[in-house]
Chains A and B, each alone.
Chain A
C-alpha cells in the first residue's frame, strides 16, 4: 500500500512546492550518444518524465556515424539529481555515452527565428538591433521582418528582450547544441 498519510496531516501546497524546490540548480547540458534505433528518443523522454525531470531544450541529430545519433538536452537541476539522472540514462540499453558538459569547456549554440512587427521608422530600428547581434533578415513584408539569430542562449534571450517592445509576433528556438572545446571528442 502507498503511504496515505493520516487524516490529520494533509499535505499543504507549500510543502509540495518546498519539495519541488530541491530540484532547482544550475543548468546542465547533457550530450548523449545513442544507437540510431526506433523508440530511443521515447525512452529518453519517458525516463525524464517519470523521474520528475523537466527537459528545457532538446535537440537530436545525426553524427558522422549513421548508426549513432546525438541527443543534446539541457536540464535545470541541482548536482545530486543530475547524477541520478545520468545514471538512470546509462541504464537505457541504447544509450552509449553521456557527457555532462562543463560550461567553461564547451561551445554551445542555438538558432532562433524572430517574426517582428516592423512598420515605418521601427523597421530601421529593428534592423539596427539585428546588426548589433549579427542577426540576418531572412524575410521581409510591408509590416514585418523575420530575423535569424544564432549564438548562446544568453545572446538569443538578449535579442528577444530588445525586439519585444517592437511587437514580437512569433519566435522559434531550436534549443542548444554543444561541443566540447579542444581536440578531444565530446
Chain B
C-alpha cells in the first residue's frame, strides 16, 4: 500500500477520530489518502488555527490532538502551536509534508528545515528518510506525545517517500531505548512526604496542570480531605480542585488571590503536584515561600529543583503518587488532626479581609469582571471555557469558578494570543455535547479570526464573547502602572465591526452594551444555533488586581 495510506491505518490504530489540517503541494499524496479514509478531517483556514484546535481537542478530551500541514510556510505556521503545546505539555502530533528527497537542502520551493526549526520546542521529531520508517515513526510519535510528560511530536515526510509502495503491518511495539518515563514514584519518598504532611502546621497543596494531565483530580481531593489541607491551583491547574469549596484558596501567582499568595508565603510545607514553580507563580524567587519545605511531585525529573530546591522530590505519575500518599498518610498513627486550626484561622482572616473584588458600575456600563460573572451565571458554570491572553483571561480565571478538570483550556506557558478561538473549535469537535465558550479579547481574537469560517462551514457550534475595550488591555495596564501611562501602540479603536464580521463569516453576531440585561442576553446568544460571536463593550480602562508586580515578592501584592 502507499505510505500515505499506511499513515491513515496508523491513525486509525491509534484511535484518531479527527484531524485538523490544510493541504498543500508537499502533502498532496497524504490528502489523496484522506479522500476516502473515513477519518473526520476539519479543513482549517490557517495552519496555526489547526495546531491550536488540535491542542484544544487534546486539552478537552485528554486524547492526542493531530494536525497536518504542508511543507515550508505550512510547517512554519504550526511553529507557534507547537511551542504552545510544548510549554503546556499538550499531547499533540504534527505531520508535515516535506519537499521530495532530491530537492532537500537545495532551497527548493516551499522547503524549510522544519525539524531543525522546531528542535528546541518539540518533545521529539522524526525526519523520515526511508518509506519503511513511516509506520513505526507515526506510532512512536503517538506514544511519545501521550506518555510521560506529554508534548508535541513532529513527523516530517518528504513527498516522494509518502508515495512509495510499502508493505504495511500494524506496529504493536515501540522501540525507544532512551525513553523510559518513571511512573511509580519512590515509596520511601512518598512515606517521607506523608510524615512531613502529618507534622506540618501550615501546609498548602499547590496543584498545577500536571495533575490534570495525569487525571489526578479525585486523588488530589482525597488528599485534601484527609486533614482539611488548604488547596491552591495555578492558572493551568484550575479545575483540578473544585473552586467553590471551603478548602479552596483561589488561584495563586501574579493575579492570584491574596489569600493563596499569603498562604504560600507563610507556609511551612508546600506540596507541589504537577506544578513547575513558574516565574508567574513565584514572583521574586529568592523571597518565595521563605519558611517552607517543598515536596515536589512531577513526572519530569528535570522540573525537580529547577527553580526551587525540593526537600522531598518524588518523580512519577501524579495520580499514582497522590493515591499512594493518601494511603501512607492514612496509615500514620497519632496524627494531631486539630493542628491546622490556627492555620485556618489565619487563612480565614485573609479571606475576609481580602476577597476578590472590583468596583461595579452604577449604570448600564459593563465591567469586564462582571462579564465573566454574567457568563458564569448564564451557564451555571456548566461550560468548557477557552480564553486568549491578557486581562480578560485573568478575570476569567478569577471569577469563573471551575469545579472540574478539562473545562478551562488555556495557553498558559507560552501565552499565545489567538489561542482561544481555534482551541474552542477543537474542544467542541472533541466534546460536541458540551457548551463551549471562548472568552476573547478584541486584540487577541483577531489573531485567528479566520477559523470562524471553519466553524460556520462545519457547523462547529462555539460561542465567542469578545471582552471589547478597544485596547491591548494588559499591555496598556503595564504601561499605566510601570511606564508612566505612556500608552504606546495599544489603542485598537473599534475595529473591526465584529457583528458584521460574524455575519460575513456565516456566523451570528450580537453586540451587548447593557449590564442590566447581560445575563439574559448571554443566555439567548448561547441558545442561538451555530457559531455565535458577541461583541461585548466593556469599560475601557480597567485593571486586573490584585497583582504581584514583576520581580516583587508575593507578600508585596498590590491592588
Q: Which positions in A face B, CB cutoff 8 Å? A: 1, 3-7, 34-35, 38-39, 42-43, 46-47, 50, 80, 83-84, 87-88, 90-96
| CA–CA, A80 and B309, complex, Å | 10
CB distance from B82 to the nearest CB of A (A): 15
In-complex Cβ contact of B302 among A1, A50, A87 (8 A): A87
CB distance from A145 to the nearest CB of B (A): 41
B304 CB contacts on chain A under 8 angstroms: 87
From known contacts A35-B178, A90-B301, A91-B300, infer whether A1 and B120 are also in contact, taking CB-CB under 8 Å.
no
A39 CB contacts on chain B under 8 angstroms: 115-116, 119, 127
B109 within 8 A of A: no
B355 CB contacts on chain A under 8 angstroms: none
4 closest A-B pairs by CB: A87-B302, A3-B550, A6-B482, A93-B124
B249 within 8 A of A: no
Instruction: Give residues 475-511 of B contacting A (CB, 8 Å).
Output: 475, 478, 482-484
- The answer to whether B179 and A93 have CB atoms under 8 Å apart is yes
| CA–CA, A41 and B354, complex, Å | 53
B116 CB contacts on chain A under 8 angstroms: 39, 42
- The answer to whether A42 and B550 have CB atoms under 8 Å apart is no
B120 CB contacts on chain A under 8 angstroms: 46-47, 50
From known contacts A1-B415, A1-B474, A5-B551, infer whether A93 and B178 are also in contact, taking CB-CB under 8 Å.
yes
B177 CB contacts on chain A under 8 angstroms: 35, 96
CB distance from A176 to the nearest CB of B (A): 24
A90 CB contacts on chain B under 8 angstroms: 301-302
- The answer to whether B178 and A3 have CB atoms under 8 Å apart is no
Q: Which positions in B face A, CB cutoff 8 Å? A: 115-116, 119-120, 123-124, 127, 129, 144, 176-179, 279, 300-302, 304-306, 415, 474-475, 478, 482-484, 550-551
A35 CB contacts on chain B under 8 angstroms: 177-178
A87 CB contacts on chain B under 8 angstroms: 301-302, 304
- The answer to whether B178 and A84 have CB atoms under 8 Å apart is no
| CA–CA, A4 and B475, complex, Å | 11
CB distance from B396 to the nearest CB of A (A): 17
CB distance from A152 to the nearest CB of B (A): 31
- The answer to whether A4 and B550 have CB atoms under 8 Å apart is yes
- The answer to whether A84 and B127 have CB atoms under 8 Å apart is no
| CA–CA, A3 and B278, complex, Å | 13
Instruction: Apart from A42-B116, A84-B306, A91-B302, list 9 A-B contacts with CB within 8 A.
Output: A1-B475, A3-B551, A6-B483, A39-B115, A39-B127, A42-B119, A87-B304, A90-B301, A91-B300
- The answer to whether A93 and B302 have CB atoms under 8 Å apart is no
- The answer to whether A38 and B127 have CB atoms under 8 Å apart is yes
Beta-carbon nearest neighbor of A67 in chain B? B177
From known contacts A35-B177, A42-B116, infer whether A4 and B478 are also in contact, taking CB-CB under 8 Å.
yes
CB distance from A114 to the nearest CB of B (A): 36
B144 CB contacts on chain A under 8 angstroms: 93
CB distance from A32 to the nearest CB of B (A): 10
Interface-central residue, A1, A34, A47, A92, by most chain B CB under 10 Å: A1
| CA–CA, A5 and B483, complex, Å | 9
- The answer to whether A38 and B129 have CB atoms under 8 Å apart is yes
| CA–CA, A47 and B119, complex, Å | 9
B415 CB contacts on chain A under 8 angstroms: 1
CB distance from B144 to the nearest CB of A (A): 7
| CA–CA, A94 and B175, complex, Å | 11
| CA–CA, A6 and B305, complex, Å | 29
- The answer to whether A94 and B127 have CB atoms under 8 Å apart is no
Beta-carbon nearest neighbor of A50 in chain B? B120
CB distance from B486 to the nearest CB of A (A): 9
CB distance from B150 to the nearest CB of A (A): 13
- The answer to whether B482 and A43 have CB atoms under 8 Å apart is no
From known contacts A1-B474, A90-B301, A90-B302, infer whether A96 and B482 are also in contact, taking CB-CB under 8 Å.
no
B483 CB contacts on chain A under 8 angstroms: 4, 6-7
B478 CB contacts on chain A under 8 angstroms: 1, 4
A38 CB contacts on chain B under 8 angstroms: 127, 129
| CA–CA, A35 and B178, complex, Å | 8
CB distance from A22 to the nearest CB of B (A): 12
CB distance from B466 to the nearest CB of A (A): 20
- The answer to whether B482 and A84 have CB atoms under 8 Å apart is no
| CA–CA, A3 and B177, complex, Å | 40
B123 CB contacts on chain A under 8 angstroms: 93
In-complex Cβ contact of A88 among B124, B302, B475, B550 (8 A): B302
- The answer to whether A3 and B302 have CB atoms under 8 Å apart is no
A80 CB contacts on chain B under 8 angstroms: 305
CB distance from B88 to the nearest CB of A (A): 16
Beta-carbon nearest neighbor of B389 in chain A? A1
- The answer to whether B482 and A7 have CB atoms under 8 Å apart is yes
In-complex Cβ contact of A93 among B115, B176, B484 (8 A): B176
From known contacts A46-B120, A87-B302, A96-B177, infer whether A7 and B484 are also in contact, taking CB-CB under 8 Å.
yes
In-complex Cβ contact of A5 among B127, B306, B550 (8 A): B550
| CA–CA, A84 and B302, complex, Å | 6
CB distance from A97 to the nearest CB of B (A): 8
B179 CB contacts on chain A under 8 angstroms: 93
CB distance from A6 to the nearest CB of B (A): 4
Beta-carbon nearest neighbor of A9 in chain B? B551
27 A–B contacts, CB within 8 A, in A order? A1-B415, A1-B474, A1-B475, A3-B550, A3-B551, A4-B478, A4-B482, A4-B550, A5-B482, A7-B482, A7-B483, A35-B178, A39-B115, A39-B116, A42-B119, A47-B120, A84-B305, A84-B306, A87-B301, A87-B302, A88-B302, A91-B302, A93-B124, A93-B144, A93-B176, A95-B178, A96-B177
In-complex Cβ contact of A46 among B119, B127, B178 (8 A): B119
| CA–CA, A153 and B73, complex, Å | 47
